[in-house]
Structure 1
Amino acid sequence: MPHRGDRDPAVPALTGRKGILHPDEQARHRTLHRLPAGPAVAHVIDWYWSVRWDLRGRPPYVAEVLPFPCVNVTFEHSEAKTGGFVNGVCTTKFVRELSGVGHTFGIRFRAGGFGAYTGLDVGEFRDRAVALAEVLPDADRLTDAVLAESSDAGRRDIVESYFARVTMDPDPNYALVRSIIDAMATDQALTRVDQVTERFAVTTRTLQRLFRRYVGAGPKWVLRRYRLQDAADLLAHGRIDDLAALSAELGYYDQAHFTREFTAEIGMAPLEYAKQSIRSRNEVTAKLLPGAERIPEQFR
């Protein structure tokens, strides 16, 4: 098992936007800040994230995300809800309406990390959000402390002190899951489960069992999710020159298959998503170009 302080080169940059749908448009309605995990918990936690919004006097905004295959623990204070929550793997597009004023501080666990830390079958949390107090001891006090703290760095210190209390024994199954997940996330040539089983010398049944226990979703779904995230990210950055070639790169049988799956998951066809992303980016650019003195405060 990797040492606690190890950071995988496969982990996306803290400034990355992969998984966030319509990222430039979202940035006009909320702020997003990420903090790295400390060495005591980096074996199970990817990073911390903080979202704040103030839409008082403005219409509500519907934020959409194509989530990663991992558990998030969140601490939220908003008009909609307040408290601490365990959010299992979300197998559909995540949609959240932001209104009024609020903030959320989140812990993004590594894929498999929450299951390794708690010993729980993460499949039980799939497509569900449950109160943190139902899962972890002393969670009410943890939630109160996090919500009472005003700074993100302070919140990170509080949750790291809590999660670092448990010393985990080496878990070869979790180490294997981590290696497989890292390969799935970064190697676009991996598009089929049989490729994974051959590369890592495991049976399909063993792979499915490990993924249910640690990840919360099956290996086929995880592969498709990573490739759809790749597609949305490339399209948002203007990759629209050859959709047939893009479909093939991501392992789809043909462009029609890719278009159907993308539309079903994202809610619009690939080309329309790309055009909408470009329009949003151009709107932001038009506001920024006149000069730094005119840059809106939320973009500084």
Structure 2
Amino acid sequence: MERTETPADLAPWVEYHWTLAWDLPEHTAYPSAVIPHPACNLTVEHGAARAAAGGEVVLVTGVTTRRFEVEVTGSGWVHGVKLRPGGLVALTGADARAWVDRTAPAAELLPRGVLDVLAGLAPGTPAADATKVAAAAVRPLVPETVDPAHNRLLHLVEAMLGDRTLLRVDDVAERHGLSRRALERLFARYVGVGPKWVLARYRMHDVVTVLDSGYDGSMADLAAAHGWYDQAHFARDFTALVGVPPSSYRRA
């Protein structure tokens, strides 16, 4: 797995690029799971053999509300463009809600010229070279004028990610001078899920980071510090997204 930075001119829409390559012995499977982010991915996949691909290699995966799981076998190579929250909508005009928990051929959204460039990426292409090609393919999608609503969304998401004191949707709305309804409409339009879900996912990433750093306090305190006031609810959310209860994750 290798990450590469996106060119500066694409940064308002693309967060980074990632390249994944694998080569496993016969009869060996590797389960891979990722805690979801409120973002879409544009991928070129060789060897992943996902049923949703329909034989195509260029795919779009919308915001995933569940833990993203895939079983890796054989050999393969994937180059991905991780878009910023709302990036898919800002670049293509897509309905974000129609892509939640969905992977489909990118031909549903992207013009043929973009698809042809991406489909030309061959397995084994060095990550830096693949990033240059993918960036060149995405660049024609950039709108001629700035979308102020998308800019506002990015500002809100940056605050939600960086300010750990924001634990409730009402906190975000009040901090930024918006009504809760206006905030929810903005997220529904550009992300496809509500601000409450986004806050919960970011705080869950924080929880996992704290546990990884060797946290030895009570789970009740950990849950409360990150916005869960019901420990049972926290345990259910953690298990659904990480795959095991928080206490088992810490022991492991």
TM-score between the two structures when normalised by the length of structure 1: 0.77
Q: 1:177 aligns with which of 144, 153, 164?
A: 153
Superposed CA deviations along residues 112-135 of structure 1, whole A, max 9, x for unmatched, are 112111122211100001101111
Q: Once the 2 structures are TM-superposed, how far is the Cα of residue 148 of structure 1 from its aligned partner?
A: 6.1
Give, as a single letter, the amino acid of the residue that structure 2 aligns with 1:151: P
Structure-to-structure mapping, 1:73-112, within 5 angstroms: 73-78=42-47, 80-81=49-50, 83-112=57-86
- Gaps in structure 2 of 5+ consecutive residues: 51-55
Give the gaps of 5 or more residues in structure 1.
Answer: 1-31, 277-300
* C-alpha distance 145-216 of structure 1, shift in aligned 2 (>3 A): same
C-alpha distance in structure 2 between counterparts of 1:140 and 1:178, whole Å:
27
List per-residue Cα deviations over 1:77-96 (Å, max 9, x = no partner): 00525601000000001111
Structure 1 residue 271 displacement after superposition: 1.5
Structure 2 Cα separation of the partners of residues 103 and 162 of structure 1: 19
Q: Which among 24, 30, 35 is matched to residue 66 of structure 1? A: 35
Q: Which amino acid aligns with 1:50?
A: T
Contact 1:188–1:249 (Cα < 8 Å) also in 2: no
Tell me the distance in 2 between the aligned counterparts of 1:149 and 1:104: 9
Choose the corresponding residue for 2:235, options 247, 255, 259: 259
What is the alpha-carbon distance in structure 2 between the residues aligned to residue 256 and residue 202 of structure 1? 31
Instruction: Please give the alpha-carbon distance, in whole angstroms, between the structure 2 residues aligned to 1:198 and 1:179.
Output: 14
The alignment partner of 2:57 has SS state of: strand
Q: Using the alignment, how far apart are the partners of 1:274 and 1:59 within structure 2?
A: 27
Aligned residue among 121, 137, 140 for 1:146: 121
Q: Cα offset for 1:175?
A: 1.0
Identity of aligned residues (%): 36
Farther-moved stretch of structure 1 (153-162 vs 140-149): 140-149
Aligned partners of 2:96 and 2:190 also within 8 Å:
yes
For 1:106, the aligned partner's letter is: G
Of 161, 164, 170, 2:139 maps to 164
**What is the TM-score of this pair, normalised by structure 2?**
0.91
> What letter is aligned with 2:78?
T
2:9 is aligned, of 36, 40, 43, to: 40
2:166–2:172: 8 Å Cα contact kept in structure 1? yes
Who is 1:289 aligned against? Answer: none
Aligned to 1:246: 222
Aligned to 2:244: 268
Runs ≥4 residues deviating over 6 A: none
Q: CA deviation at 1:257?
A: 3.0
1:252, distance to aligned residue in structure 2 (A): 1.1
**Alpha-carbon deviation of 1:35?**
0.3
Structure 2: distance between partners of 1:104 and 1:179 = 30
CA contact (8 A) 1:121 1:212 kept: no
Q: Is the 8 A contact 2:67 2:240 kept in 1?
A: no
